[in-house]
Every structure is written in structure tokens, then in C-alpha cells.
Copies of this chain bind each other. A is one copy, B any other.
Amino acid sequence: MTEKQEKILQAALELFAEQGFAATSTNKVAKKAGVSEGLIFRHFTNKDGLLNSILQQGHEKMAGLFHELESLNDPKDVIRKVIEIPFMIKDEEMPFWRLIYSLKWQADVYDSTMSNPIKSTLIPAFSKLGYQNPEAEAQLIMVFIDGLAVEILLRKSGNAQSIKSSMLSKYNF
């Protein structure tokens, strides 16, 4: 990975996250990266290839997060940890997650299986705790996480902490 390759990926990530994939031209990416436009196509074949490289890089970073979940034994720890996920997004990770969530609405590119590992960890946790419908409970938490992630990524609410408390209390934490 050349220095200029990384510059391109970083510039593209930020622009795709801010303005959207379709609305960002390869010209803009090249200018922001301080690179000739042709270089983008030498390294990433086409605009879709550039997007895929960004996504692959991001997925590798996420692998660790799933692994951390699987190592927890107490089901209550699992649930608490999952609820806390959206609150753990670091500032430097925001563009990547903004991109992921915006791509949901652009059909052809999005990989909807991404969050499956989390859900798969959640179901046995609710099962162990004796919930009547572990599947639905897991789904409910996933829905909540997605909603909260949107809230945080669009930096709409300042009182995220009190929302978290309200949520945790619904599971008797």
C-alpha cells in the first residue's frame, strides 16, 4: 500500500461519507488526495473498485469487534456490550460508519449480512436469560442499535447518555 494509495482511500472515504457515493466525482477525490485522477484507476480499476477497497478495509477493522463479543460468557454482559456499541464509535471511525449507513439506501452495493454475527451472539444470550422470544428480542436490539447509530452519526442528540440509561433499564440493568 503506497502512501498515495492511502491518501486516495482516505480522501474518498471522507467525500463519500460527506456527500454520498454517487455525488462524489473521481476528480474531487483526486484533488482532495493531491494526486492525478488517472492514478485512482491504475490502483482501483474503477469507481466501484475504489468503494470496495474502502469497505474491505473497514470490514477488517470490524472483525476485532465481533471477536470481543464472542469471548463474553455472562449473557447479561453480551447484551450490555451490544447496547453500548453505538456509543463506542470513535470520531475517526465516523466517516466509515456514515458511509456504511448511507449505502443502505443505494441498493446494489450494500452488504446486509454485516450485522449477522452480532445478532447470532444475541439470540443465545436471551435464550439463557429465559426470554420467551429470543429471536424477536435480538431483532429488537438490532433495530435499536441501528436507530441509535443513525442518531449519533448525524449528531442530532446531545443527551445520548440518558438514552442509554433508559435503554439499559428496559433490560433490568
Contacts and interface: CB of A to CB of B under 8 A. Distances in A.
Interface in A131-157: 133, 135-137, 139-140, 143-148, 150-151, 154, 156-157
A48 interface: no
19 contacts: A18-B107, A20-B105, A98-B105, A102-B102, A102-B105, A104-B154, A105-B105, A112-B154, A112-B156, A139-B157, A139-B159, A143-B147, A143-B148, A143-B163, A145-B147, A146-B147, A147-B148, A150-B150, A170-B170
A172 to B, nearest CB: 11
Interface of A: 18-20, 22-23, 98, 101-102, 104-107, 112, 133, 135-137, 139-140, 143-148, 150-151, 154, 156-157, 159, 162-163, 165-167, 170
B146 A162 contact: no
A104 B147 CA distance: 12
A136 B163 contact: yes
A163 B147 CA distance: 14
Contacts of A145: 147
A106 B106 CA distance: 12
Contacts of A167: 140
